[in-house]
Structure 1
Amino acid sequence: MKLSSTALLALAISSITATAYAEPASQDFVPTTLAGTSAQSEAKGFVEDFSLGGTTRNWYSNEQKYRGGTFAYKKHGQTVTDRRRENWVQGTILNASSGFTQGTVGVKTEVAVYNALVLDRSKRDIKGGSNRTLADSNGDAVDQWSKLGLANVQFRVSNTTLTAGRQNFSSGIVDSIGNRALPSSFQGVSFNSEEFSNLSFQGGVFDRVSPRSEQSLSKFRTEYSSNGVETDKVYTLGVNYQPLKSLKTSFFGANVKDFWNQYYFGATHELGDIQQVALTTGFNYYKTVDEGKKLMGEIDNDTFSLSLGLAHQAHSLTFSYQAINGDEYFDYLHETNGIYLANSLTSDFNGPNEKSFQIAYGINMAEYGVPGLKFNVYSARGWGIDGTHYTGNGGVAGKGYDGIQSQDGEKHQEYGVGASYAVQSGLLKATAIRATYVEHRGSENQSDGSIKEFRLVTTIPFNIL
């Protein structure tokens, strides 16, 4: 289970794709031409364009399981259970970034120090640690810790940049995730090329991930693995293309060594005028097949989501349908946000053969004189979860998605409400405050269980130089 969103704050309505535009979305064709300017020709210099700044985030979560579910922790060597878990962490990022040197080949460096200060250190509250609070082998919170979140060197020619080291990367398959006090990052080599007006290319090779709540680097594993197997090579390559001013598309492929080959296609189309009625259509599709040593077992999975978002002035209403076609979970890499599906919420709604539907409503109070204030509410239901036909583990216990066979006709539902405010001016300008409440209820063998969660997250950006 992973609380996620696609390039939005945690628990935003991931399926609301309608965006406010002052003018009707143009349906004009966009010809592919060479970029009009070279980013490198405008380089200001290594020192001249140096910047120092970052963010500090106060991250609080209160979870309660129900319908028999419990959390567990060790007390005096004995396992103790109860229904509640709390995590409260202050995460701070200090980022130092040079400018690109001038000349044909520009060189730049970026270093970011991540620091976590645990504000709730109760062993009972944190329940032995998780991807929320770092704990030692005894289950006690590590009161304060730091690490290099980013440390890379970048080389740029014209509008093409090569990055080597610990870095952020964003695509439909490999994407940094930032829904905790600190985000994840990846170690490897990547490139981004924007030599054309409406066509860009991205790719990378990564061997380690820097998890959100861990000090050390880790090998890659999957979000839903039953055996915790790891791989140390992820290759990805893709293209972003905008054929119309109103239509954006992307296609990416990835080879996760000895796990799978995964392919992603995404498209977003805008139509109409938000002052009247605007329609935004979002489509996301994934194809996953096993590869190499098949450490995750045999996989043959087709998954898609389709969302239709209607917007009128301050109001947006979105309908999203999602379908998993395969006898295993739709899975993705742990410590990434590589799931751009519309119904990826507290639950990913990604069970074997699952179908799900979501309806979401949002209101932007700027239209009523309170810029920066937004509210949202959603309801999602999943049904038809059936893992009884899964044979991908080859009969080997603990391999692949072993245990999924018990899911027979499972269903679940999720409700959420949220409020957010972005400070518009003054010393705290761009500070974001978001409160969310979610309730998820699953049937007996549905993997996410039944849980309620309240979150309060405040993120303050700052600039030093």
Structure 2
Amino acid sequence: MKRYPLSACPLLLLGILSPHLMAGEPGGGFLEDSRLVLNQRNFYFHRNYLNNPGGQNRREEWAHGLTLDYVSGYTRGTLGLGVDAYANLGLKLDSGRGRTGTDLLPVDSQGRPEDEYSELGGAVKLRLSRSVLKYGSQTPLNPVFGTDNARLFAPRAIGFSFNSREVDDLLLDAGHFTAGNDGNSTNSDGALKALYAQVETRRVNYAGFLWTPSEGASLSAYSSRFDDIWRQHYLSVSQRLQLDAERSLTFDLNLYRTLDGGRQLAGEIDNTTWSAAVRYGQGPHALTLAHQRVHGDEPFDYLGFDRQSGASIFLANSVQVLDFNAPNERSWQLRYDLDLAAFGVPGLSFMSRYVSGDHIDDSHYRGGSNGAYGRYGEDGKRWERDIELRYLVQSGPAKDLSVRLRQASIRSSSEVARADTADNNELRVIIDYPLQLL
């Protein structure tokens, strides 16, 4: 849907709602089931590169984002009509021409960060029984086509989605999308891409299901097609076992199979990637061990937008900076979580993890005419260490305000660093404060 300047947002939102306001709809309808939330996010991002081949040694920006998010109920009757709408405003607090590139702020043609940016979008929706068809600007999240919220605002995809829960414990999910835009962009007709190949498609279709037959168990399967790039299939199984009141054991398996399709815009693709993880929890402590493998001479690739990535990579070792998805890569993860509520500080949590990858090799890449892949060399290695401290206010006027401190360090062999992400140390400070207005 078209984006508008922020100054037009209140008028447009009122225009959307006015027919229903005039109708004076009774309880349990369009207005009575509506929700209006103001989300505020304050984000500081600092990344210091070590021997960056691109020449920029530092990226540092500070920005504040506001999102007014409206979700309506449905009109009464067999077929219910509703609307979702949002308005975003991003403000520069600190940045500079030589420090851009964090994707918090858009950059003008001279390489300068914009002082502010804004947009308005929305979607219309139809409900029949427990099934919903929606068209417009959306943030779908599933293993083959997912948006995330890793910066000020989530990227948006424009198209159709269908969700159905006619059967208890079974979600049916399908979509058809033709465009998108980054979270730091106001372009309503941006590209949908293969993120690592950086080639565009103008049509993505997907369908799948999530089945939760019992508490702690789930089975999921999806299939997608990025026109003229690939066909991708996904399968996951998860099982949580409660050993006793204090101890639990959780097993997760994720598997992707990706094959080229159509005009092969990203070249030849024959890739199988999987991850397996086991998590042991005891009281406030949890320890996770994960292993991930890429079988293919090209990286495991997934959804991207003009500049930002999507979130359709449901693999254990896709972490803060790296995805550990390079050609033929093998990676291990060790993670520790601590809930400090058990020590008298409810809402405070700590996480630390270390992921190490090796055996990176695309020397046998068969390639394609555009050379989309084939840049990692052979016998590559890398690692990432993440530390996160998060506090969520539990009560009072600031209830639900959260503060996150996220630190990451990555190191790679030289060819891998040039092909993916250069060695760096990173710090993110993220403050979120949602206010429910309706």
- What TM-score, normalized to structure 2? 0.89
Q: Which residue of 1 aligns with 2:347?
A: 372
Residue 243 of structure 1 deviates from its aligned partner by 2.9
Residue correspondences, number: 404
Secondary structure in structure 2 of the residue aligned to 1:124: coil
Residue 130 of structure 1 deviates from its aligned partner by 5.0
Rounded Cα–Cα distance in structure 2 between residues aligned with 1:142 and 1:246: 46
Secondary structure in structure 2 of the residue aligned to 1:119: strand
Match runs of 1:250-399 below 5 Å: 250-273=220-243, 275-334=245-304, 335-345=309-319, 346-393=321-368, 396=369, 398-399=370-371
Q: Which residue of 2 aligns with 1:108?
A: 82
Counterparts in 2 of 1:444 and 1:197: CA distance versus 1, 3 Å: same
Identity of matched residues, %: 32
Q: 1:49 aligns with which of 11, 17, 33?
A: 33
RMSD: 1.5
Asked whether 1:131 is paired with 2:115, we answer no
Structure 2 spans left out of the alignment, 5+ residues: 1-25
Rounded Cα–Cα distance in structure 1 between residues aligned with 2:252 and 2:301: 20
Please tell me the residue identity of whatever aligns with 1:69: N
Rounded Cα–Cα distance in structure 2 between residues aligned with 1:408 and 1:44: 61
Q: Which residue of 2 aligns with 1:19?
A: none
Residue 177 of structure 1 deviates from its aligned partner by 0.8
Residue 102 of structure 1 deviates from its aligned partner by 1.1
Q: Which residue of 1 aligns with 2:424?
A: 451
Please tell me the residue identity of whatever aligns with 1:109: V
Counterparts in 2 of 1:384 and 1:167: CA distance versus 1, 3 Å: same
Rounded Cα–Cα distance in structure 1 between residues aligned with 2:169 and 2:275: 25
Equivalent residues of 1:173, 1:332 under 8 A apart: yes
Rounded Cα–Cα distance in structure 1 between residues aligned with 2:219 and 2:141: 14
Rounded Cα–Cα distance in structure 1 between residues aligned with 2:59 and 2:244: 42
Rounded Cα–Cα distance in structure 2 between residues aligned with 1:223 and 1:198: 33
Equivalent residues of 1:274, 1:313 under 8 A apart: no
Residue 115 of structure 1 deviates from its aligned partner by 1.1
Equivalent residues of 1:180, 1:212 under 8 A apart: yes
Q: Which residue of 2 aligns with 1:33?
A: none
Residue 299 of structure 1 deviates from its aligned partner by 0.3
Residue 91 of structure 1 deviates from its aligned partner by 1.3
Q: Which residue of 2 aligns with 1:98?
A: 72
Residue 274 of structure 1 deviates from its aligned partner by 6.2
Deviations 1:131-172 (A, max 9, x none): 232100101111101012x41111001100100111121211
Rounded Cα–Cα distance in structure 2 between residues aligned with 1:184 and 1:371: 32
Q: Which residue of 2 aligns with 1:199?
A: 170
Equivalent residues of 1:70, 1:83 under 8 A apart: no
Counterparts in 2 of 1:96 and 1:245: CA distance versus 1, 3 Å: closer
Q: Which residue of 1 aligns with 2:46?
A: 62
Equivalent residues of 1:385, 1:407 under 8 A apart: yes
Q: 1:145 aligns with which of 117, 140, 145?
A: 117
Secondary structure in structure 1 of the residue aligned to 2:341: helix
Secondary structure in structure 2 of the residue aligned to 1:370: coil
Residue 54 of structure 1 deviates from its aligned partner by 2.3
Equivalent residues of 1:43, 1:100 under 8 A apart: no
Equivalent residues of 2:89, 2:118 under 8 A apart: yes
Residue 202 of structure 1 deviates from its aligned partner by 0.5
Asked whether 1:230 is paired with 2:212, we answer no
Rounded Cα–Cα distance in structure 1 between residues aligned with 2:32 and 2:280: 46
Please tell me the residue identity of whatever aligns with 1:321: H
Please tell me the residue identity of whatever aligns with 1:242: T
Q: Which residue of 1 aligns with 2:94?
A: 120
Structure 1 spans left out of the alignment, 5+ residues: 1-41, 72-80
Secondary structure in structure 2 of the residue aligned to 1:445: helix
Deviations 1:166-212 (A, max 9, x none): 11212111112101011112110111000011222000100011211
Equivalent residues of 2:60, 2:102 under 8 A apart: no
Residue 245 of structure 1 deviates from its aligned partner by 2.7
Q: Which residue of 2 aligns with 1:461?
A: 434
Equivalent residues of 2:143, 2:312 under 8 A apart: yes
Equivalent residues of 1:327, 1:386 under 8 A apart: yes
Residue 241 of structure 1 deviates from its aligned partner by 1.1
Secondary structure in structure 2 of the residue aligned to 1:282: strand
Asked whether 1:85 is paired with 2:55, we answer no
Equivalent residues of 1:443, 1:449 under 8 A apart: no
Rounded Cα–Cα distance in structure 2 between residues aligned with 1:165 and 1:457: 29
